Amino acid sequence: NAGVTQTPKFQVLKTGQSMTLQCAQDMNHNSMYWYRQDPGMGLRLIYYSASEGTTDKGEVPNGYNVSRLNKREFSLRLESAAPSQTSVYFCASSDPGWETQYFGPGTRLLVL
Amino acid sequence: SQQGEEDPQALSIQEGENATMNCSYKTSINNLQWYRQNSGRGLVHLILIRSNEREKHSGRLRVTLDTSKKSSSLLITASRAADTASYFCATDGPGNYQLIWGAGTKLIIKP
B95 pLDDT higher than 70: no
pLDDT level of residue B7 (50, 70, 90 thresholds): confident
Share of chain B above pLDDT 90, in %: 73
Cβ B43–A105 below 8 Å, yes or no? Answer: no
Cβ A98–B44 below 8 Å, yes or no? Answer: no
Q: Does B1 touch chain A (CB under 8 A)?
A: yes
Per DSSP, which regions of B38-84 are E strands?
43-50, 55-58, 61-66, 71-76
Q: What is the pLDDT of residues A10-31, one digit of tens each?
A: 999 999 999 999 999 999 999 9
Q: 3-state DSSP call for residue B82?
A: helix
Q: What is the pLDDT of residues B15-38, one digit of tens each?
A: 999 999 999 998 888 889 999 999
Nearest chain A residue to B50 by CA: give it: A99
The span from the CA of B89 to the CA of A87, in Å, is 21
